[in-house]
Every structure is written in C-alpha cells, then in structure tokens.
C-alpha cells in the first residue's frame, strides 16, 4: 500500500493535479487522499485505490498467487484422521509438513514416515481437473523429496467421477492399489509406491 500511495502521489504531481482535484474526482476528501499517498490509510479499499490510479493516469492490477495452504474444513480433517487410524502406530505421522525448500510455502497435508522412506499425503475433497492435479502433485513430489504420494479422496460422487474420467492418467501416476497400500501401512511397511486411497 505504501508503494501504491507513493506512485499515486508522483503521478498526481507529474500530471499537475492538486489533492483537492483528485479527491473531488474520486469522491473522497483531500485529507483522505493525502493519507493514502503517505500510507496512513490502512482501511482504504481496492476500489478507491483503483479510482485514484485512474484519475492520475495509472492502472491498478491485482493477481492472486498460490500461497500458504487454504483453510481446511472439518470434512478434510476427518478424512485425514480416517487414514491415520489405518496406519501402524510405529509409523511417523505429521500434519501440515512444509516442503524442504527455503521460501516454498507449500506443505503436505500430512506425512507418513517409515524406516528410510517418506510419503506425502494430499487430500483432495473436490477433485475436478485431473491434469492440473497430476501436474501439481508430480512437481510437489519432486520438490518435496518424498518416495511417493498418497492421494486421499473422499467416497463421494464427484471423486468417483474424477477417478473414472482420468482412470488411465491416475493409474500411471498411482500404480499401487488402495487395498495394498492400506495393508502395507497397517503392517508398518512401505506401501511400495504412490496410491489413491479412499479410507
């Protein structure tokens, strides 16, 4: 906000516009414009900033980038706990495990650790775009330094449609059958590769 305010002030001055003229055009007070220019108006809306930018000849753009993990709901947590209940207590289990690269804000929903192996767990509550999900998980597996990925899906109509629509791609990336992966994890063993599990 401080950078935007300073840019508005410079553009206003270059255009030879007074605070009052800009304020009138934007429908706010001159005092308010002055506060915005000096980054003293934390409450200012994007709409007001966009108006001010337009008046002084600037374009204001905004983009959303993937960041920290989104808020998880109770269904998501229940699904993770269902999987946790299936694995042998001798195995390590941790939630929200960050990827090991400095500055990387991504995290695994959970991590299962055994003797010399690690599997990242990703929980997809509403899977839709199989190609995007597979690209994201492939990159996350590479960057996350894990032996495989356990893709956790709910037993819902949407998840079943997702699995049917992308059956070949999913089979190639998740070759271990769900039942085999669950048996291995229950026995405290390496599941032997990536798997899709619906607990």
CB distance 36 to 23 below 8 Å:
no
For residue 94, give Cα distances in angstroms to 60, 98, 186.
41, 10, 16
Q: What is the pLDDT of residue 84?
A: 96
Tens digit of each residue's pLDDT (9 = 90 or more) over 7-57: 999 999 999 999 999 999 999 999 999 999 998 888 888 889 999 999 999
Phi, psi of 180 (to 5 degrees): -70, -40
For residue 138, give Cα distances in angstroms to 70, 71, 88.
20, 23, 26
Tens digit of each residue's pLDDT (9 = 90 or more) over 170-193: 999 999 999 999 999 999 999 999
Higher-scoring residue by pLDDT: 132, 89: 89
For residue 46, give Cα distances in angstroms to 5, 40, 42.
12, 15, 11
Q: What is the pLDDT of residue 126?
A: 86
Query: Taking all residues of the chain, what is their mean pLDDT, rounded to a whole number?
Result: 89
Q: Write the DSSP assignment of 60-127 as a string of letters.
A: --------SPPPP-HHHHHHHHHHHHHS-TTSEEEEEEE-SSTT---EEEEEEEETTEEEEEEE-SS-
Q: What is the pLDDT of residue 95?
A: 93
Q: What is the pLDDT of residue 199?
A: 82
Phi, psi of 58 (to 5 degrees): -115, 155
pLDDT band for position 71 (cuts 50, 70, 90): low
Tens digit of each residue's pLDDT (9 = 90 or more) over 155-171: 999 999 999 999 999 99
Quick one: average pLDDT of 140-166?
91
């Amino acid at each position: 906000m401080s950078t935007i305010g300073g840019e508005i002030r410079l553009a206003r001055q270059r255009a030879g516009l007074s605070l009052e003229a800009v304020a009138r055009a934007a429908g706010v007070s001159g005092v308010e414009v002055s506060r915005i220019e000096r980054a003293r108006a934390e409450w200012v809306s994007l709409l007001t900033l966009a108006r001010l930018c337009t008046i002084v000849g600037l374009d204001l753009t905004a983009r959303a980038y993937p960041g920290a993990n989104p808020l998880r709901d109770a269904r998501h947590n229940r699904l993770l706990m269902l999987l946790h209940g299936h694995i042998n207590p001798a195995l390590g289990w941790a939630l929200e495990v960050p990827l090991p690269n400095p500055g990387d804000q991504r995290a695994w929903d959970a991590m299962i650790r055994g003797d010399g192996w690690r599997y990242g767990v990703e929980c997809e509550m509403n899977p839709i775009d199989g190609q995007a999900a597979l690209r994201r998980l492939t990159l996350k597996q590479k960057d996350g330094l894990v032996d495989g990925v356990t893709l956790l899906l709910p037993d819902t109509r949407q998840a079943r449609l997702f699995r049917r629509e992308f059956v070949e791609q999913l089979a190639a990336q998740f070759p271990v059958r769900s039942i085999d992966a669950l048996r291995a994890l229950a026995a405290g063993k390496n599941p032997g590769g990536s798997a899709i599990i619906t607990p």
